[in-house]
Structure 1
């Protein structure tokens, strides 16, 4: 697919001339020339006013505002670039750490992108916009003038007109290539100056990673709060209710005793459900005894026999919780989908990384695209910048391996 005028020019002339690229190029240059020329006049007037009013301090405000005007121009140019470049440019700017104009100004002042945009603005107002107007003016003026040249031929009876019109049309075709070439070069220059640098993208990636880590911590705090509320609230009340029903059962006979028995059975079932819910939110054995003990606990409660071979130290709580839920979900998939008769879990910490491997002897064919929980496992792994690999040929076995950095 053609993405810009320079690529379009490499196609056959018939394809290029029938496409929208010559007209997009003309609109890009025309808008750049007209808007740039008008902005240049306004900027010159403001600069003069700023110099004259410097004594009154108002001029300093005007000059400072002009220094940051490149940010607005840069954003507008990145948006306008979509006329001739189908690959959008991301903003090179970071989001301020705090709300308010002071934080915005301080952040923009420290960013190299701000000063690149200011330099590009100056270059556009002083040079590029006038070149845009010149190129598009010549591209229109020369073919038209040549085409109508024959209209002034009174000597040869209009014979010159028969030559000038085709020649003018040929020049019009050439002008379309000239417009596309300059628009493509102008767009390439804009991208080179206004696109984010690798280090700026790296800074944003670090910021996103830190934000993601904070969100993970907040989720774990909220998870712990819910687990604590269930443990200290609903579970305790259900336990007290079961005790009261047990005492009440001793004092009644006949049909009333049967009703108390039924209520006692339902209360015990509800208590089991709450305990299972608490274990799913944040298992107590994980907090008290670590990842290895928690994995052995869930392995012993599943429908498929599981061999557990884990030699793990205590790890950071968020890492243990992530690894626990990955193993828990993987073993749940083994029980629901694999048709396995046996499974195994192995894990070690080597070279600062935790690796765990879940293997089963089922029929294989596990595919994340079919939504068997594998996508969720990959998402949990990505939160900690880990890697998840799965091998599941038809006929089995299925091997899932996850690696997580311990720091």
Structure 2
């Protein structure tokens, strides 16, 4: 989502003037003044030596010693004391931003030590602190200039609306070129123009507030968090594209290659019936028929591995029971009451997580049995796979757990692992019933979920 999408969409709404948007914008602008005015005064005082230096340069003379000294002192005060003002100001401005944009703006500062020296060392070394100082300078320079222009336009608007009530018929109240307003009747056209301009000021307030909100979000936000959110969204889109491509391959194999292979197997079988047993072609034909049947089994298993038909037709519980029946180990599947059918992405992720986990158990765990539990906790789908094997599962040893955690995270969930030495091993997967991307996976190496 672009940084300014929420306030900009409100401003572009055709019914904007009939909503609370203009009033929120006005409140946001007026509530800025108690913070912008003191900051502007302080910045103006610090800028006085630089203004004096510019005045000297405009007269062709170099700034004298005291002015240069004050310039250095002003810059030092800005760099030393400015962050002490900018950091709490950033806290206030992030809170005030909710008047214009309902999306939360988390602090870009990580937790810091409680003692003062460590706090100062941490804050002065963070780029976020200097962005907050830049925002303070924005409040001290750009905001007053923009508000001054808006205030001047408001004064003109007030004069247009109040003109008919203050024209006395004496000296000219308005003079625009050769046009003068001396009577209330002459002020009526300007009054009507002022009425037509009222909606424009509603949009002007929204535009000013939107621009200030954009600057606040750009300078005071957590850029790392935004980038992580975008990476998570990109990862989720890649996972969706991968699932779609895998289903297309499964469909092509099922409807194309498998159908043709089945037809070929039938034709070879019929040919065997027509060829005498003592014919030289009988043995090669028999081998070709057997190989075609073996290939049908391989292709069927391949299609099943891409996406089993039971998962599409009957749902996750039936697919898990079918998966358990195909496992060389005894696997008990328990489905708790009240588990609805989740979103397709969640369903596929849960199934392939169970498939990968059972495959790891067979290859590495030296287990005698496994248990699969499917349950619901609020709006979260819970999948647990437990085995009685040797334990000690380590994601760093290439058992597929890291890739599985990434896949679960791309679907908006998390993976938790408990695998002490000598077992048992418990793998717990939590997925949203409605798929939504999450920023990261959680994969503790040990400990109970």
Length-normalised TM-score, structure 2: 0.50
1:311 Cα deviation (Å)? 3.7
Counterpart Cα distance in 2 of 1:244 and 1:262: 14
Question: Cα–Cα, structure 1 residues 364 and 134, in superposed 2: closer, same or farther, change >3 Å?
Answer: farther
Q: Secondary structure in 1 aligned to 2:327?
A: coil
Q: Secondary structure in 2 aligned to 1:309?
A: strand
Larger deviation, residues 130-139 vs 175-184: 130-139
1:129 Cα deviation (Å)? 10
Partner of 1:243: 266
Matches within 5 A, 1:197-346: 218-252=241-275, 253-311=278-336, 313=339, 315-316=341-342, 317-346=344-373
Counterpart Cα distance in 1 of 2:49 and 2:391: 64
Matches within 5 A, 1:80-119: 92-93=3-4
1:247 Cα deviation (Å)? 1.3
Counterpart Cα distance in 2 of 1:251 and 1:128: 103
Larger deviation, residues 179-188 vs 194-203: 194-203
Counterpart Cα distance in 1 of 2:42 and 2:281: 94
Matches within 5 A, 1:54-133: 92-93=3-4
Do 2:47 and 2:74's aligned partners in 1 also have CA atoms closer than 8 Å? Answer: no
Counterpart Cα distance in 2 of 1:191 and 1:367: 47
Question: Cα–Cα, structure 1 residues 229 and 136, in superposed 2: closer, same or farther, change >3 Å?
Answer: same
Counterpart Cα distance in 2 of 1:127 and 1:172: 17
Do 2:391 and 2:422's aligned partners in 1 also have CA atoms closer than 8 Å? Answer: yes
Task: Note the alpha carbon deviations across 1:218-277, whole angstroms, 9 max, x for none.
Answer: 544443332221111000100011111111122334442221122222222221221111
Partner of 1:72: none
Question: Cα–Cα, structure 1 residues 341 and 134, in superposed 2: closer, same or farther, change >3 Å?
Answer: farther
Partner of 1:363: 390
Counterpart Cα distance in 1 of 2:404 and 2:227: 25
Q: Secondary structure in 1 aligned to 2:293?
A: helix
Q: Secondary structure in 2 aligned to 1:355?
A: strand
Counterpart Cα distance in 2 of 1:236 and 1:128: 81
Do 1:143 and 1:172's aligned partners in 2 also have CA atoms closer than 8 Å? Answer: no
Can you give the 5+ residue segments of structure 2 that lack an aligned partner in the other structure? 57-61, 87-129, 140-214, 435-449
Q: Secondary structure in 1 aligned to 2:407?
A: helix
Counterpart Cα distance in 2 of 1:274 and 1:135: 82
Do 1:385 and 1:404's aligned partners in 2 also have CA atoms closer than 8 Å? Answer: yes
**Cα RMSD between the aligned structures?**
5.0
Partner of 2:405: 378
Counterpart Cα distance in 2 of 1:297 and 1:403: 22
Task: Note the alpha carbon deviations across 1:104-156, whole angstroms, 9 max, x for none.
Answer: x969x99x99x99xx9xx99xx99999888668999x999948xxxxxxxxxx
Do 2:371 and 2:387's aligned partners in 1 also have CA atoms closer than 8 Å? Answer: yes
Partner of 2:124: none
Bigger helix fraction: 1
Larger deviation, residues 391-400 vs 178-187: 178-187
Counterpart Cα distance in 1 of 2:396 and 2:64: 59
Counterpart Cα distance in 2 of 1:315 and 1:402: 16
Do 1:135 and 1:179's aligned partners in 2 also have CA atoms closer than 8 Å? Answer: no
Q: Secondary structure in 2 aligned to 1:349?
A: strand
1:318 Cα deviation (Å)? 2.9
1:384 Cα deviation (Å)? 3.5
Do 2:82 and 2:133's aligned partners in 1 also have CA atoms closer than 8 Å? Answer: no
Counterpart Cα distance in 2 of 1:331 and 1:275: 20
Q: Secondary structure in 2 aligned to 1:308?
A: strand
1:357 Cα deviation (Å)? 0.9
2:419 corresponds, among 388, 392, 395, to: 392
Task: Note the alpha carbon deviations across 1:84-114, whole angstroms, 9 max, x for none.
Answer: xxxxxxx84459x9xxxxx9x969x99x99x
Do 2:361 and 2:387's aligned partners in 1 also have CA atoms closer than 8 Å? Answer: yes
Counterpart Cα distance in 1 of 2:222 and 2:80: 31
